[in-house]
């Protein structure tokens, strides 16, 4: 078989191109550390998602000094959580699974992009250096509302980021000669200790207590308020921890006896 | 005519994608063209090609190269 | 077939490797294509792709796996 | 020396039927394409966005399955009979495969189109709003899957028909080289048999029993992988007839001869070997498949560039040969000596030019990690509208301008209009595909009725999203104009009975003929075995690892109707919110 000299040139050129393309991609993988989503994430049956200790309550978890895990549940037609907040300068690993059909988890304008296949957990890690607000969309057709499927990823300055949760347990009513117990549970999802102040404002009074919540745990702070100092009537109260507040109303001096119902309120940011 | 009518048509068609992306390339050199300006540039190139094509050919056929 | 050229359909002895026909125009076009491909590849990989950070990277645990 | 219809009137009738069937699907697919392009760019939205996905399914399946393959079987029938110079062995077999393909295609088309009309009488909801890829657990009506299977079986029988004809030719000509056109048909069909095994298993073993309720669950990653095992070689199945026409017709139309018969054989052998063990490059971003398998798929895919690169040289050199025989000179000015007046030539040459551009975006798609940038973005449809949407579709349309006179004995009606048609296609696709690539790079997704989001936008860099949308819509409109012209020319030619077309249905002998090709190239048994071995190497470990731990039938994954009729009949927004609320 004789091949014309010019075609031989081109054959060599073509092989150079092919090898160069493979070499570029290999450089991206080995030199720059770009990894493909693979089978590291493991599998999960769709009906196990609700009971899973992380996917059951999807969200952000700190796992190292600047490392976070984000569990995301994709479904027709949305993501839970629908807004993900992470700090700048962090290495974030997303774990994404689907409870129904195939979706994608695609952070718009970035190379953070994976298919989300029911039964599979997609695990992808990326470094977020700058504060930025990204959109997240589904780029795999998933049904009639596919185009409505979106979420947001907020990369916030480190100083604005925490994983604090506040829950307050307080009675709705208390007798005039009794004490009202207001208990604030402060949960710290970060690994570092959280030094903060719990403030209760009730009526005209303000009570503060400093608290240190160890990493990945919670602390209760209980304020005992003498109902007599508040006087009969309705009193608004507010518990504040950093940017988180809880408010409700306490009624003093009703004639009803017996235990009043506790009003439980919980809020996450 | 230096090229056949059909050949000219193909040549003009070839100008279209070049004109569309000319803007993108020029933006690299900080030259920002509006849509209207790109259209005008494209029309100018097309006019130039038409003028070139309809002029009588010179003696040497190599002048027909673009 | 054109009679104005040396090569006619009757010229069946015409073989590649003979000097009668060198596809120099093809080599020119394909050379241009080669250059365009190289430039476009560099642009797309190094500017569009690598400039589109953040990018999925190997986590600490999986780094050093298959590359 | 006479026309095809003179030599093989009965075969010509079948080829004509196949072409006309393919044109009907082309027309339908084209209309849906226009609706889509106007809907997603928000220039004209006259239907509910849920219906967009019905339109998209029809556009995809009609064009890339029905239009391409019906045309292909026509071309292959022409190629085998012309190059072997004998009719098909048994026309009853020919009628059988044409019947199977038509029945299967019709069944699938009915299920897809019923997505517009609601429940059918007696049969109930027939819809199949699952797109061309029918990823489980999206579920279509079983008739959709059955239609696809019957259609594919039809193509299998067609392959058997051609191979049988080749075998009986072989008996009469024991020592001759396989004629190049037949060689191309047979290698392509062997590739097709290997490739369709994947989709046949996916449907018959897993999806069909599951959609009939006989099996409770499906393994989405497995059916997906089996789909792409078929899904990449299928693009070469569309492309091979286009390549064949470039190799056989372009040199002839340019007044030249094929540069090298042996290299053409090498190219088709490489496609047989490498088309299938590459499908995982469509799954670079799939969880559940390890990076090593993806890397292997990339390496194979990159080497699959080689036969296309070789084709580019060989075909252009053959055209140049013709141009120089017609007085062309210089490095580039010989291009002016090409027969641009001939719509068959111009269309195929422009198709080849666009394929060079589509080749580039294909190289990007083949790259493993760069896939994060482009995966499932509008870049991908931008790419395949250059490849299947132009390299294949425009070549077929241009080819029709040459074939139809051969098949009817009628002269082509209006050559200038036909040339204009191919040029308008080129311009329209330039606008549409280029803007799609650009939109993909800024993250705009494909397969979406409304790529406009509530809480974020796309950063277009140079220009704006609105301009990109305008280019896409303008391109789509021009493509529609081009299609209309095509159908006018085809219809007028088909009824142009008064004219007398007498050009010979002959292929000029190559400059370097089969005698220069090593005998081993014709050893199809060897290449088939090698192709199977490569497939086993590429797929056995990934499939084993997918089945391991998930099971053949997956972890309780139930069918999901992507567009229940209740949704279409009520206001979409309200229903979407309602469903979302319920799931939460």
Contact D328 C25 (CB under 8 A): yes
Contact C7 D325 (CB under 8 A): yes
Q: Which of D250, D254, D257, D374 to mutate to test the interface with C (most CBs of C within 10 A)?
A: D257
Nearest CA in chain A to D48: A144
φ and ψ at A251, to 5 degrees?
-105, 125
- Chain A, residues 29-48, CB within 8 A of chain C, namely 29-30, 32-38, 40
Please state, in angstroms and rounded to a whole number, the distance separating the CA atoms of residues A179 and A177. 7
Residue D423 has pLDDT above 70, yes or no: yes
A111 chain-C contacts, CB cut-off 8 A: 49, 52-56
φ and ψ at D504, to 5 degrees?
-75, 145
Q: What is the mean pLDDT of chain D?
A: 93
Contact D430 B9 (CB under 8 A): no
How many Å lie between the alpha carbon of A133 and the closest alpha carbon of chain C?
A: 13
Contact C25 D332 (CB under 8 A): yes
Please report, for chain B, the start and end positions of each structural domain, with discontinuous segments joined by +: 5-55
Q: What is the pLDDT of residue D577?
A: 54
Query: D1 pLDDT band (50/70/90 cuts)?
Result: low
Taking CA atoms, D416 is separated from C13, D346, D413, D478, D485, in Å, by 37, 11, 9, 17, 11
How many domains does chain D contain in total? 1
Contact C56 A91 (CB under 8 A): no
C16 chain-D contacts, CB cut-off 8 A: 259-260, 511-512, 516
Residue A262 has pLDDT above 60, yes or no: no
Residue with tokens 């072997």: D84
Show the domains of chain A with their CATH numbers: 39-160 (2.60.40.420), 164-252 (2.60.40.10)
How many Å lie between the alpha carbon of A127 and the closest alpha carbon of chain C?
A: 6
Residue D380 has pLDDT above 60, yes or no: yes
Query: D571 pLDDT band (50/70/90 cuts)?
Result: very low
Candidate from D419, D423, D434 with C-beta closest to B17: D434
How large a percentage of chain A has pLDDT more than 70? 94
How many Å lie between the alpha carbon of C60 and the closest alpha carbon of chain D?
A: 16
Task: Report the pLDDT averaged over residues D12-36.
Answer: 97
Residue D572 has pLDDT above 60, yes or no: no
Nearest CA in chain C to A26: C67
Determine if the peptide bond prior to D226 is cis (ω within 30°): no
Q: How far is CA D250 from the centre of its chain?
A: 20
Q: Which of A118, A127, A150, A151 to mutate to test the interface with D (most CBs of D within 10 A)?
A: A118
Contact D330 B65 (CB under 8 A): yes
Q: Which of A119, A133, A153 to mutate to test the interface with D (most CBs of D within 10 A)?
A: A119
Query: B25 pLDDT band (50/70/90 cuts)?
Result: confident
Contact D324 C7 (CB under 8 A): yes
Q: What is the pLDDT of residue A7?
A: 92
Q: What is the pLDDT of residue C5?
A: 36
Q: Which of D253, D362, D370, D459 to mutate to test the interface with C (most CBs of C within 10 A)?
A: D370
Please state, in angstroms and rounded to a whole number, the distance separating the CA atoms of residues D103 and D154. 9
How many Å lie between the alpha carbon of D373 and the closest alpha carbon of chain A?
A: 5
Query: A12 pLDDT band (50/70/90 cuts)?
Result: very high
Residue A170 has pLDDT above 70, yes or no: yes
Torsion, Cα D398 D400 D406 D411, to 10 degrees, reads: -80
Helix/strand number for chain A, H first, E second: 2, 19
D562 closest CA partner among D146, D142, D127: D127
Q: What is the mean pLDDT of chain A?
A: 90
Chain D contact for A80 (CB, 8 A cutoff): yes
C63 chain-D contacts, CB cut-off 8 A: none
The tens digit of pLDDT for each residue in D245-303 reads: 999 999 999 998 999 999 999 999 999 999 999 999 999 999 999 999 999 999 999 99
Nearest CA in chain A to C29: A10
Give the range of the structural domain holding residue D318, as residue numbers without chain letter.
4-581
D349 chain-B contacts, CB cut-off 8 A: 10
Query: D511 pLDDT band (50/70/90 cuts)?
Result: confident
Bridge partners of residue A87, in order along the sequence: A156
C12 chain-D contacts, CB cut-off 8 A: 509
C45 chain-D contacts, CB cut-off 8 A: 364, 367, 370
The tens digit of pLDDT for each residue in B44-63 reads: 999 999 999 988 766 544 44
Q: What is the pLDDT of residue D10?
A: 94
Chain C contact for D335 (CB, 8 A cutoff): yes
Chain D contact for A56 (CB, 8 A cutoff): no
Candidate from D340, D426, D435 with C-beta closest to B7: D340
Q: What is the pTM of this model?
A: 0.91
Q: What is the pLDDT of residue D461?
A: 80
DSSP annotation string for A195-226 = EEEEEEEETTEEEEEEEEE-TTEEEEEEEEEE
Q: What is the pLDDT of residue A256?
A: 52
Token pair in block for residue A194: 């959280």
Q: What is the pLDDT of residue D568?
A: 57
Q: What is the pLDDT of residue C17?
A: 40
Q: What is the pLDDT of residue B59?
A: 55
The tens digit of pLDDT for each residue in D306-323 reads: 999 999 999 999 999 999
Chain C contact for A1 (CB, 8 A cutoff): no
Q: Which residue has the higher pLDDT, C59 or A157?
A: A157
Token pair in block for residue D452: 């406009």
Chain D partners (3+ C-beta pairs within 8 A): A, B, C
Residue environment code for D17-54, b if the CB has 16+ CB neighbours within 10 A, otherwise e: bbbebbbbbbbbbbbbbbbbbbbbbeeeeeebbbbbbb
Contact A10 C27 (CB under 8 A): yes
CATH number of domain containing D340: 1.20.210.10
Angular region, D564: left φ>0, alpha ψ -120 to 50, beta rest: beta
Contact C1 D290 (CB under 8 A): no
**Active site residues per annotation of D:** 232, 236, 383-385, 446-447
Residue environment code for D399-433, b if the CB has 16+ CB neighbours within 10 A, otherwise e: bbbbbbbbbbbbbbbbbeebbbbbbbbbbbbbbbb
Q: How far is CA D227 from the centre of its chain?
A: 15
Contact D285 A11 (CB under 8 A): no
- Chain D, residues 492-531, CB within 8 A of chain C, namely 508-509, 511-512, 516
Taking CA atoms, D463 is separated from A192, D301, D448, in Å, by 46, 34, 22
The tens digit of pLDDT for each residue in C15-57 reads: 334 457 889 999 999 999 999 999 999 999 999 999 999 999 9
How many Å lie between the alpha carbon of D86 and the closest alpha carbon of chain A?
A: 29
C65 chain-A contacts, CB cut-off 8 A: 35
Contact D372 A14 (CB under 8 A): no
Residue C65 has pLDDT above 50, yes or no: no
Please state, in angstroms and rounded to a whole number, the distance separating the CA atoms of residues A48 and A115. 20
Residue with tokens 């191919």: D422
Q: What is the pLDDT of residue C21?
A: 85
Task: Report the pLDDT averaged over residues A13-42.
Answer: 95
| DSSP β-ladder status, A244-252 and A173-174 | parallel
How many Å lie between the alpha carbon of B50 and the closest alpha carbon of chain D?
A: 15
Chain C partners (3+ C-beta pairs within 8 A): A, D
Taking CA atoms, A118 is separated from A100, A267, D258, D294, in Å, by 6, 31, 51, 20
The tens digit of pLDDT for each residue in A226-241 reads: 888 888 888 889 999 9
Helix/strand number for chain C, H first, E second: 1, 1
Query: C10 pLDDT band (50/70/90 cuts)?
Result: very low
Please state, in angstroms and rounded to a whole number, the distance separating the CA atoms of residues D35 and D52. 8
Contact B23 D463 (CB under 8 A): yes
D356 chain-C contacts, CB cut-off 8 A: 33
How large a percentage of chain D has pLDDT more than 90? 84
Task: Report the pLDDT averaged over residues B30-37.
Answer: 88
Q: Please give the interface size between C and D, counted as residue pairs whose CB atoms are below 8 Å apart.
A: 88
Contact A101 D562 (CB under 8 A): yes
Residue D564 has pLDDT above 90, yes or no: no
Residue with tokens 């110079």: D85
Task: Report the pLDDT averaged over residues D514-527.
Answer: 93
Q: What is the pLDDT of residue C49?
A: 96
How many Å lie between the alpha carbon of A155 and the closest alpha carbon of chain C?
A: 12
Please state, in angstroms and rounded to a whole number, the distance separating the CA atoms of residues D418 and D485. 7
Chain A contact for C55 (CB, 8 A cutoff): yes
Bridge partners of residue A94, in order along the sequence: A70, A124
The tens digit of pLDDT for each residue in D129-145 reads: 999 999 989 999 999 99
Query: C67 pLDDT band (50/70/90 cuts)?
Result: very low
Q: Do chains C and D touch (3 or more CB pairs under 8 A)?
A: yes
Residue D440 has pLDDT above 90, yes or no: yes
């Amino acid at each position: 078989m004789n091949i014309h000299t010019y075609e031989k040139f081109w054959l060599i050129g073509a092989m150079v191109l092919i090898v160069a393309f493979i070499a570029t991609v290999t450089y991206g993988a080995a030199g720059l550390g770009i990894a493909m989503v693979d089978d590291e994430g493991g599998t999960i049956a769709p009906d196990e998602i609700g009971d899973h200790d992380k996917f059951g309550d999807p969200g952000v978890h700190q796992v190292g000094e600047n490392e976070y895990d984000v569990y995301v549940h994709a479904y027709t037609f949305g993501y839970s959580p629908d807004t993900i907040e992470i700090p700048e300068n962090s290495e974030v690993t997303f774990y994404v699974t689907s409870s129904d059909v195939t979706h994608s988890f695609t952070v718009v304008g970035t190379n953070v992009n994976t298919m989300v296949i029911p039964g599979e957990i997609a695990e992808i890690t990326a470094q977020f250096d700058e504060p930025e607000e990204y959109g997240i969309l589904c780029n795999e057709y998933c049904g009639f509302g596919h185009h409505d499927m979106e979420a947001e990823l907020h990369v916030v300055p480190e100083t604005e980021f925490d994983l604090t949760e506040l829950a307050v347990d307080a009675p709705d009513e208390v007798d005039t000669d009794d004490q009202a117990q207001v208990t604030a549970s402060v949960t710290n999802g970060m690994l570092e200790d959280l030094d903060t102040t719990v403030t209760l404002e009730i009526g005209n009074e303000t009570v503060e207590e400093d608290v240190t919540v160890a990493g990945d745990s919670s602390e209760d702070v209980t304020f005992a308020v003498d109902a007599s100092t508040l006087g009969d009537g309705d009193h608004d109260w507010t518990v504040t921890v950093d940017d988180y507040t809880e408010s409700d109303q306490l009624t003093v001096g009703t004639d009803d006896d017996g235990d009043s119902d506790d009003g439980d309120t919980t809020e996450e940011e | 005519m230096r090229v056949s009518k059909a050949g000219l048509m193909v040549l003009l068609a070839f100008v279209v994608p070049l004109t569309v992306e000319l803007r993108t390339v020029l933006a690299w050199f900080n030259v920002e063209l509006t849509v209207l300006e790109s259209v005008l540039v494209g029309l100018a190139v097309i006019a130039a090609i038409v003028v070139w094509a309809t002029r009588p050919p010179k003696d040497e056929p190599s002048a027909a190269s673009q | 077939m054109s009679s104005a050229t040396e090569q006619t359909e009757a010229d069946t002895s015409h073989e590649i490797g003979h000097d009668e026909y060198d596809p120099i125009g093809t080599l020119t076009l394909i050379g241009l294509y080669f250059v365009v491909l190289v430039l476009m590849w560099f642009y797309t990989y190094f500017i569009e792709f690598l400039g589109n950070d953040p990018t999925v990277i190997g986590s600490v645990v999986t780094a050093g796996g298959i590359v | 020396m006479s026309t095809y219809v003179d030599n093989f009137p009965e075969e010509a009738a079948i080829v004509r039927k196949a072409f006309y069937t393919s044109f009907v699907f082309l027309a339908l697919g084209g209309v849906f394409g226009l609706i889509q392009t106007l809907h997603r760019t928000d220039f004209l939205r006259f239907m509910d966005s849920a219906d967009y996905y019905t339109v998209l399914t029809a556009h995809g399946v009609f064009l890339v399955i029905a239009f391409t393959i019906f045309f292909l079987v026509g071309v292959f029938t022409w190629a085998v009979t012309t190059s072997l110079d004998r009719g098909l062995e048994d026309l009853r077999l020919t009628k059988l495969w044409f019947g199977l393909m038509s029945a299967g295609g019709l069944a699938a088309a009915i299920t897809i189109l019923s997505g517009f009309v609601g429940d059918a009488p007696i049969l109930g909801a027939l819809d199949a709003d699952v797109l061309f890829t029918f990823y489980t657990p999206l579920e279509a009506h079983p008739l959709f899957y059955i239609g696809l299977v019957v259609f594919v079986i039809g193509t299998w029988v067609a392959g058997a028909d051609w191979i049988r004809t080749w075998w009986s030719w072989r008996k009469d000509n024991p020592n001759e080289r396989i004629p190049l056109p037949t060689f191309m048909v047979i290698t392509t069909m062997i590739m097709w048999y290997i490739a369709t095994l994947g989709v046949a298993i996916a449907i018959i073993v897993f999806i069909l029993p599951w959609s009939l309720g006989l099996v409770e669950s499906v393994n989405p990653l497995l059916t997906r992988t089996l789909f792409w095992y078929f899904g990449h070689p299928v693009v070469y199945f569309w492309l091979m007839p286009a390549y064949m026409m470039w190799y056989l017709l372009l040199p002839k139309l340019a007044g030249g001869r094929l540069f090298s018969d042996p290299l053409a054989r090498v190219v088709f052998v490489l496609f047989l070997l490498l088309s299938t063990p590459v499908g995982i490059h469509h799954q670079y971003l799939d969880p559940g498949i390890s990076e090593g398998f993806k890397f292997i798929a990339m390496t194979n895919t990159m080497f699959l560039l080689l036969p296309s690169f070789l084709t580019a040289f060989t075909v252009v050199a053959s055209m140049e040969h013709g141009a120089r025989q017609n007085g062309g000179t210089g490095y580039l000015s010989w291009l002016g000596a090409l027969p641009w007046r001939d719509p068959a030539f111009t269309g195929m040459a422009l198709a080849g030019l666009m394929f060079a551009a589509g080749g580039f975006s294909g190289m990007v798609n083949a790259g493993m990690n760069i896939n994060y940038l482009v995966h499932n973005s509008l870049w991908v449809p931008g790419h395949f509208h250059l490849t299947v949407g132009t390299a294949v579709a425009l070549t077929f349309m241009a080819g029709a301008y040459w074939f139809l006179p051969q098949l009817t004995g009628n002269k082509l009606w209006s050559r200038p209009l036909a040339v204009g048609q191919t040029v308008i296609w080129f311009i329209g696709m330039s606008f549409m595909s280029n803007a799609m690539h650009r939109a993909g790079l800024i993250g705009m997704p494909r397969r979406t009725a409304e790529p406009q989001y509530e809480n974020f936008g796309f950063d277009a860099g140079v220009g704006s999203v609105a301009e990109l949308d305008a280019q896409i819509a303008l391109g789509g409109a021009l493509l529609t104009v081009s299609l209309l012209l095509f159908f006018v020319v085809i219809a007028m030619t088909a009824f142009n009975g008064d004219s007398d077309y007498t050009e010979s249905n002959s292929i000029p002998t190559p400059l370097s003929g089969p005698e220069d090709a090593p005998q081993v190239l014709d050893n199809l048994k060897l290449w088939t075995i090698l192709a199977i071995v490569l497939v086993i190497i590429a797929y056995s470990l990934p499939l084993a690892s997918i089945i391991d731990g998930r099971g053949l039938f997956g972890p309780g994954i139930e069918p999901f109707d992507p567009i229940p009729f209740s949704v279409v009949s009520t206001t979409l927004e309200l229903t979407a919110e309602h469903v979302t609320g319920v799931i939460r």
